[in-house]
Chain A
Amino acid sequence: MIETLLSLTVNGVLIGGLYALAALGLTIVLGVMRVINVSHGAFYMLGAYFTFLFSIMLGFNYLTSFILSAALVFAIGVVYERLLIKPIRKEELNVLILTFAAAFVIEEIVKFAFGPRYRNIPPYLSGTVNIPGGSVDVQRVLSFAIAIAIVALLFAVLRFTKIGKAMRMVAEDEEVAGILGINVEKVQMFSFGFGAMLAASAAALLSPIYLLYPSMGWDPLLKAFAIVIFGGMGSIPGTVLTGIIFGVAEVLTGYYISPTWKTVVPFILLILIISVKPTGLFGEEE
């Protein structure tokens, strides 16, 4: 009984870490640029398809494919920001509409290039480890570890490096950041690419678990939005913790209630928290 719960929780945490990774990209872009990027799910989908391209179609090993697709989506994010976001960034509604439209365009391009049918990437690692009450896939443990390593790296970059401090200053006060000598547009371009890359990394790590199809990005996008709002807009610890809470909630609901409720539960949690604390878990009151 307790052991089943434990094993489910472990599996929830493992998947939640990857949700957190995907949502962090959205948090960074929101924090540093005050942009709500509806294309985030499209970057996620690209990450999965590029992993497919490199590993299945071109025959690279999984790790190389992961790195290549993350790097490629970073580059796409940078170009996307320069061409589409930068000219209209101050007009929030336009950004919303444009990133929404662009997501569909990216989706169509992928459909054209890879075809509309489902694809799958076989597990990159087999084997399970036993834990009380059940077992977990080694692959999931490793994917989780990679996700946590990326999150830790992100923390370290923000906390200790010059670019990280510049990103935080831009997030707090763009105008003053410029006065201090920070090239705000460059920092934003970098942050956007970085955000896209986080989505792609999460997708690459999840791709051996889930199926690939051109519209696969919308679900994670909604989930990421829910996580970001639940955690408190722009709060990085809030996002990470919420990702994990959502992962656990999903797995527990799927088991104890019904798999069909699984995807709804995060949103019920979201509605609950914002009716109690509108700024989210870690959000600062204005």
Chain B
Amino acid sequence: MLQVKSVTVHYGKALAVDSVSLEVDEGEFVAVIGPNGAGKTTLFKTISSVIRPTSGEILFEGVRISDLPPHEVARLGIAHCPERRRLGYRMSVMENLELGAYLRKDRAGIEEDLKFVFEMFPVLKERKNQKAGTLSGGEQQMLAIARALMADPKLLMMDEPSVGLAPLMKERIFEAIEEIKKERSVTILISEQDASLVLPMSDRAYVMETGRMKIEGRGRELMENDYVKVTYLGL
């Protein structure tokens, strides 16, 4: 479904992603783990076409997306839940969700998805007329995920959905992600620093360090990998 082919990305002269390749098949749950500054966010933004790669190409369902503008990538069915939420903070919860469904015309489907996200995150329903900027960090993260779901995407990318949250809230978010995985027929690409949270539910995972893919394997396998154990699972 998604093929990232030896993609290199620079910020000015600085190298951020170095000849990275990655594949996600339809229906998979794929994780990218790695420490601060590994290039996870840069990779995700490049897939969304917010950043242009210096070399390499990205294909989605066979279409080359690496030179399309971001809104056309979105139209093909990729939703990106960005790092640190990035909501419309001066807009209401409801307006943020509406913007999530910006490209959709199927009213019935939108209603159904709204019901789904409100059932998953009841607090959003309670606060639907409140400005997103007044929500707590955890609630904002829920809204960011809900907004991405409202696009009814084929591929859902979530960039560090648990970053900066208290442990309990982290768990709550990952329960929701588990539920999305079970209930929705959506392919998921997720980045996370906390490998112990994400590896158990991943079909496959990549370990990214200083702009490169270091290890790739099945989620369970990686949990047994000595390097991963020592570096990421603290065992």
Are chains A and B native binding partners rather than an unrelated pairing?
yes
Show the binding face of A for B, using Cβ within 8 Å: 162, 165-166, 168-169, 172-173, 175-176, 178-185
Residues of A within 8 A of B95 (CB): 165, 168
Q: Which of B71, B79, B88, B147 contacts A172 (CB 8 A)?
A: B88
Instruction: Give the A-B pair count, Cβ closer than 8 A.
Output: 62
**Seed contacts A168-B88, A180-B151; 12 additional CB < 8 Å A-B pairs:** A165-B95, A168-B91, A172-B89, A175-B82, A178-B69, A179-B79, A180-B99, A180-B100, A181-B71, A181-B103, A182-B102, A183-B71
B1 at the interface (CB under 8 A from A): no
User: Does B98 have its Cβ within 8 Å of any Cβ on chain A?
Assistant: yes
Across the interface, name the chain B residue whose C-beta is closest to A171: B90
Contact residues in A for B13 (Cβ distance below 8 Å): none
Q: Are B91 and A179 in contact (CB under 8 A)?
A: no
Interface size for B (C-beta < 8 A) is 25
B99 touches A169 (CB 8 A): yes
Interface set of B (CB-CB < 8 Å, partner A) = 45, 48-50, 69-71, 74-75, 79-80, 82, 86, 88-91, 95, 98-100, 102-103, 147, 151
Residues in B neighbouring A181, C-beta threshold 8 A: 71, 74-75, 102-103, 151
What separation, in Å, do the CA atoms of A169 and B88 have in the docked complex?
A: 6
**What is the CA–CA distance of A166 and B45 in the complex, to the nearest angstrom?**
20
Chain A's interface: helix, strand, loop or mixed, by majority?
Answer: helix
Say yes or no: A166 contacts B71, CB within 8 Å: no
List 24 A-B residue pairs with CB atoms under 8 Å apart, sorted by A's residue number.
A162-B102, A165-B91, A165-B95, A165-B99, A168-B90, A169-B88, A172-B89, A172-B91, A173-B86, A173-B88, A175-B45, A178-B70, A178-B74, A179-B70, A179-B82, A180-B74, A180-B99, A180-B100, A180-B147, A180-B151, A181-B71, A181-B75, A181-B102, A183-B71
Which residues in B have their C-beta under 8 angstroms from that of A184?
Answer: 70-71
Q: Which of A169, A175, A180 counts the most chain B CB atoms within 10 A? A: A180
A172 nearest in chain B by CB position: B88
- Give the shortest distance, in Å, between A157 (CB) and chain B (any CB): 14
Q: Assess the B88–A179 pair: CB atoms within 8 A.
A: no
* A232 CB, min distance to chain B CBs, angstroms: 13
**CB distance A178 to B91 under 8 Å?**
no
- By a CB distance below 8 angstroms, the chain A residues around B45 are 175
Tell me whether A179 and B90 are in contact (CB under 8 A): no
| Chain A neighbourhood of B98, CB < 8 A | 165
CB contacts (< 8 Å) of A179 on chain B: these are 48, 50, 70, 74, 79-80, 82
Known: A179-B48, A179-B70, A181-B75. A166 touches B88 (CB 8 A): no
Contact indicator A176/B86 (Cβ below 8 Å): yes
- In whole angstroms, what is the CA distance A176 to B83 when docked? 11
Bound-state Cα–Cα, A185 to B69, Å: 10
Residue of B with least CB distance to A175: B50
B174 CB, nearest partner CB in chain A, Å: 23
* Interchain CB contact (< 8 A) of B91 among A169, A175, A182, A185: A169
A176 to B38, CA, bound (A): 22
Q: Given the complex, which residues of A lie within 8 Å of B89, measured CB to CB? A: 172
Q: What's the Cα separation between A72 and B29 when bound, in Å?
A: 53
Please name all residues of chain B whose beta carbon is closer than 8 Å to the beta carbon of A176 when the two chains form the complex: 82, 86
